Chain A
Amino acid sequence: MESANPEEIKKAVRSYVVVFVTLLCLTFVTVAVSYLKLPRPQAITLALIIATVKASLVAAFFMHLISEKKVIYAVLSLTAAFFVLVLLLPSLTLYTNSGHLG
């Protein structure tokens, strides 16, 4: 994203505002959903989905990923893979001697 012409920038700014409003709405949705007092697995799944959508919007538009080159995607996919790995880490400690969830 180097010096683009003013028209492109104005278009980008419009998309920023749309994303901003969407993010605010999704924030209130997140809080509203929490009042539904869903059972835990569903609550976690829904909250994570909404958070991921918000994060994707920030990454794609505010962080310009949608117009970025392949190298960044490569760094990101690598990171995503390792992030998943480190996240799975604690689940390993939940297994007991007999191989069952304890």
Chain B
Amino acid sequence: MSDTVIPYMVKPHPITGLPNGKLGIWLFLASEVMLFGALFSSYVLLRAGAPHWPPIEPGEAAKLSSELLNVPLATFNTAVLITSSITMVMAWASLQLKSLPKFRIYMGATIALALVFLVVKYFEYAHKFEVGHFPSHDNFYGIYFTMTGLHGLHIVGGIVVNTYLLTAGSKLWNTDPEHFANRVENAGLYWHFVDLVWIFLFPALYLL
């Protein structure tokens, strides 16, 4: 079994112009669009059905989302994620320029920025918990924690994959550089998608 050769694993298919992995990752992203789409859809429904949004705390005045959530921190996080997107694509470009050391720098930067994002998220969450705003507090916090939480899990997944590609996985560069470059590109497509989700999540939850 270890020797069954799968065609078009590295070289692109003559008609579709794609290697298998790239087509596969785009299909996966299609399913992810439906996953986050369903959550956005639920957010719209919950919000449209609420008499006030965010729901008014008993005995307090109405507040805006931007007053309940930390906009400066989230803006910073948005910049962090966008930067990690360019470092990710630069990591792939470094491989196209045949430089493994440059790849390592950019990939390392991507992972580091992703960790920064998570650390900032940790502080955001911790502060909310400190003042007793848990997901159960009301649907505003419920959907905020759920959507950013699921997004955060996707960031964690991306960190795991990218770390593998930076370390043990990079050995493939020595035996089959094109295959390795494809893997980095596919990981990059996933990573950009995670950035894309945040690009919509940030205004939807924090600003509107």
A and B in contact, CB less than 8 Å: yes
Q: A residues touching B (Cβ–Cβ < 8 Å)?
A: 1-4, 6, 9, 12-13, 16-17, 19-20, 23-24, 27-28, 30-31, 34, 40, 43-44, 47-48, 50-51, 54-55, 58-59, 61-64, 69, 71-72, 75-76, 78-79, 82-83, 86-91, 93-94
Cβ-defined partner of B93 (8 Å) among A16, A24, A54, A58: A16
Minimum distance in angstroms from A6 CB to a CB of chain B: 6
Known contacts A6-B97, A31-B75, A71-B16: does B192 contact A63 (CB below 8 Å)? Answer: yes
Interface 1/0s, chain B 121-141, versus A by CB < 8 A?
A: 000000000000000000000
Q: B residues touching A (Cβ–Cβ < 8 Å)?
A: 12, 16-18, 22-23, 26-27, 29-30, 33-34, 37-38, 40-42, 44-45, 48-49, 66, 71, 75, 78-79, 82-83, 85-86, 88-90, 93, 96-97, 178, 181, 185, 188-189, 192-193, 195-196, 199-200, 202-204, 207-208
| Cβ contact within 8 Å between B90 and A13 | yes
Chain A residues near B45: list those with CB within 8 A.
89-91, 93-94
| Cβ contact within 8 Å between A58 and B203 | no
| Cβ contact within 8 Å between A86 and B71 | no
Q: Which 4 A-B pairs have the closest CB atoms?
A: A90-B45, A69-B17, A34-B207, A79-B30
